[in-house]
Amino acid sequence: MGRNLTDILPAAAAEIGVTLEGPQVDLFSRYAEELIRWNAKINLVSDKTLGEIAIRHFVDSLSVLPLLPAGKLRLLDVGSGGGFPGVPLKIVRPSLELYLVEATRKKASFLRHLARDLQLTGVHIINERIEDLLKQEDLHHSFDIICSRATFKLPDLLKYSATLMAPSGIIIALKAKEADREAADAASMAEKLGLKAAERTDLRLPVTGDIRNVLIYRNIL
């Protein structure tokens, strides 16, 4: 994967049903460069090349895009780290009101820098643990989408998200492995919280062939 990101990313995104315009590819290129630059100081990603970042982080994050409902949405990215999946989704769908929750101060600083550098509006960085966020009653039942990329075990993610998701909202969990076991472990927690496993998408990432699982939970109406 030694080719330029601008060569790899549009074709790889098209394979998962996402079309990228030139200005969006430019933003992703800047994003990748900042990841590599900041990665020398703090651990944001283990992948070191632009090609690896394009597939394992950007395309992986964009796999959520076809699953998002239409309209203006408030999206909460829990344990955002280097901005995944929230920032790639925001680049392609600018109307998202994006909230990035990151407990590590240095990573939160990177996210603030990134939002400024890419000139992204409607992005809110919350430098707190999710447990502390739950204490803010004004945020209860206010998010249309709550997503997390392999940050929490599924039962914990459901437990934290149930208080924050809107009645018609959805929880999206991105998993790289052991999705079946985690879904089984989360079944009793989902029932207790009034949630149901509504959809699941399994895909193989372009180029690398890595397996990804995307699980969606909704309120039981």
| CATH number where 172 lies | 3.40.50.150
Residues 49 and 201 sit within 8 Å (Cβ to Cβ): no
Domain of residue 137, residue span: 5-219
pLDDT of residue 221: 62
- Name the DSSP class of 94: T
**In whole angstroms, how far apart are CA 42 and each of 34, 124, 173?**
12, 21, 25
Domain count across the chain: 1
Would the CA dihedral through 101, 106, 110, 112 be positive or negative? positive
Would the pTM count as exceeding 0.85? yes
Could you tell me the pLDDT band of residue 150, with boundaries at 50, 70 and 90?
confident
| Stretch 61-72: mean pLDDT | 93
Percentage of the chain exceeding pLDDT 70? 97
Measured in degrees and rounded to the nearest 5, phi and psi for residue 110 equal -60, -45
- Least confident among 40-44, 161-165, 191-195: 40-44
pLDDT above 90 (res 218): yes
pLDDT of residue 177: 77
How high does pLDDT run on average in the chain? 93
pLDDT above 90 (res 129): yes
| Stretch 131-148: mean pLDDT | 94
Strand 74-78 relative to strand 143-149, pairing: parallel
| Stretch 32-46: mean pLDDT | 91
Could you tell me the pLDDT band of residue 3, with boundaries at 50, 70 and 90?
low
User: Cα(205)–Cα(221) distance, rounded to whole angstroms?
Assistant: 34
| Stretch 41-68: mean pLDDT | 90
Taking the mean position of all CA atoms in its chain, how far away is CA 21? Answer: 20
pLDDT of residue 53: 92
| Stretch 154-158: mean pLDDT | 95
User: Cα(143)–Cα(75) distance, rounded to whole angstroms?
Assistant: 6
pLDDT of residue 179: 87
pLDDT above 80 (res 212): yes
Q: Which amino acid is at 203?
A: L
pLDDT above 70 (res 185): yes
- Least confident among 16-25, 42-51, 181-190, 211-220: 42-51
Better-predicted residue by pLDDT, 99 or 178 = 99
Cis geometry, peptide bond prior to residue 94 (ω within 30 degrees of 0)? no
Using alpha carbons, select from 158, 139, 137 the residue that is nearest to residue 147.
Answer: 158
**In whole angstroms, how far apart are CA 110 and each of 13, 29, 39, 78?**
25, 16, 10, 16
pLDDT above 90 (res 174): yes
Tokens coding 26: 């430019």
**In whole angstroms, how far apart are CA 80 and each of 7, 109, 181?**
26, 12, 23
